[in-house]
């Protein structure tokens, strides 16, 4: 079964939903800190289904590699640069005032962003304010086309032949023509320290370096609903330009409440088990938000000046 065919089935979601105006793919325009410092260069994306968030943050100057190479053959300075990328998938809950994130499957090994977010949106602009006043982030909704809204939480990925676990945790979020696929490490690394420091400390230990980078998170886009999704941002840079994942091989195991995908990668048959968060056939992600009648009249009266440069 094709991934998008799942949206025509009667499958229950896993829990309550976040507000509709938080759904979709958002690209960060800036983050401003309480001390006046501002970052407009880090590439940051946020994909939101009803109850899952996929998040990517790639600093300027992150190493890029077009071909797969053994981790141990990459120079240490490049490995440290790759270890500064942030990516992961977490569960979301909105309490009516702030958005909470929990149960992260994260590339990083320490919690860099511990606060919930106080959110508001006008048009395609979503503002996220840290309740402590530490920072404010300016996000912009990305055009999504007319595709599905999908959120699947990954339990694990195993080799069918051997039963070996390749990945635990993560998931898949699709917002129209945008998608993110996160696959966690088979076994966790020690938490609390920075991943870049772990890489430095184990620079001469190929097995530990392999553990550090046994995490695959990627974001991609498709030219049209149902078409292949091509990776444009990934924790493993050689994934860029490649398919995000196969869209075929999905099946429903209703007795266990699971979505299962069987797919062959690099000559190995894999099985992925997911639980359902969101399966909706149509998602357009409108850029407009509600406003009062007075606001609408004001903009109509002043549009010849305020909107003149947009025509």
Per-residue model confidence as pLDDT tens digits over 173-196? 999 999 999 999 999 999 999 999
Report the distance separating Cα 150 and Cα 3, nearest Å: 9
Mean pLDDT score across all residues of the chain: 94
The label of the residue with tokens 């968030």 reads: 53
Q: How confident is the model at residue 311 (pLDDT cuts 50, 70, 90)?
A: low
**pLDDT > 90 fraction of the chain, expressed in percent and rounded:** 83
Question: What mean pLDDT comes out for the span 23-37?
Answer: 98
Q: How far apart are the first and last CA of the chain?
A: 44
Q: What is the pTM of this model?
A: 0.94
Q: How confident is the model at residue 171 (pLDDT cuts 50, 70, 90)?
A: very high
Q: For residue 11, what pLDDT is reported?
A: 78
Looking at per-residue pLDDT, the higher value among 97 and 26 belongs to 26
Would the pLDDT of 80 be above 90?
A: yes
Per-residue model confidence as pLDDT tens digits over 254-273? 888 899 999 999 899 999 99
Give the residue from 176, 41, 56 showing the smallest Cα distance to 108. 56
Cα angle: 204, vertex 205, 206; to 5 degrees:
110
Structural domain of 303? 3-310
Per-residue model confidence as pLDDT tens digits over 283-304? 888 889 999 999 999 999 988 8
The label of the residue with tokens 């500064």 reads: 84
Would the pLDDT of 12 be above 70?
A: no
Per-residue model confidence as pLDDT tens digits over 35-45? 999 999 999 99
Residue 234 in contact with residue 217, Cβ under 8 Å? Answer: yes
Q: How confident is the model at residue 14 (pLDDT cuts 50, 70, 90)?
A: low
Report the distance separating Cα 285 and Cα 123, nearest Å: 11
Q: How many domains, in total, are found in the chain?
A: 1
Q: For residue 130, what pLDDT is reported?
A: 98
Per-residue model confidence as pLDDT tens digits over 85-144? 999 999 999 999 999 999 999 999 999 999 999 999 999 999 999 999 999 999 999 999
């Amino acid at each position: 079964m094709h991934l998008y065919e799942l949206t025509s089935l009667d499958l229950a979601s896993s829990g309550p939903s976040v507000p509709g105006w938080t759904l979709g793919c958002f690209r960060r325009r800036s983050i401003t800190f309480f001390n006046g410092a501002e970052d407009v260069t880090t590439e940051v994306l946020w994909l939101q289904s009803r109850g899952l968030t996929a998040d990517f943050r790639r600093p300027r100057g992150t190493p890029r590699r077009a071909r797969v190479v053994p981790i141990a053959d990459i120079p240490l300075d490049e490995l440290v640069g790759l270890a500064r990328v942030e990516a992961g998938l977490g569960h979301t809950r909105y309490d009516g005032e702030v958005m909470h994130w929990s149960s992260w499957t994260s590339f990083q090994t320490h919690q860099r962003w511990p606060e919930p977010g106080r959110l508001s949106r006008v048009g395609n602009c979503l503002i996220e304010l840290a309740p402590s006043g530490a920072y404010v982030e300016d996000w912009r909704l990305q055009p999504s086309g007319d595709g599905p809204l999908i959120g699947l939480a990954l339990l694990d990925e195993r080799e069918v032949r051997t039963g070996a676990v390749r990945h635990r945790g993560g998931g898949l979020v699709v917002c129209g023509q945008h998608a993110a696929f996160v696959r966690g490490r088979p076994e966790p690394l020690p938490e609390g320290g920075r991943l870049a420091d772990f890489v430095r400390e184990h620079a001469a230990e190929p097995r530990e370096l392999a553990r550090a980078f046994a995490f695959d998170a990627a974001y991609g886009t498709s030219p049209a609903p149902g078409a292949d999704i091509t990776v444009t941002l990934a924790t493993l840079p050689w994934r860029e330009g490649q398919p995000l994942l196969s869209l075929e091989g999905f099946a429903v195991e209703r007795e266990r409440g699971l979505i299962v995908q069987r797919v062959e990668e690099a000559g190995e048959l894999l099985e992925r088990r997911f639980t359902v968060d969101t399966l909706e056939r149509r998602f357009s992600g409108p850029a407009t938000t509600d406003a009062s009648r007075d606001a609408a009249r004001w903009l109509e009266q002043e549009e010849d000046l305020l909107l003149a440069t947009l025509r």
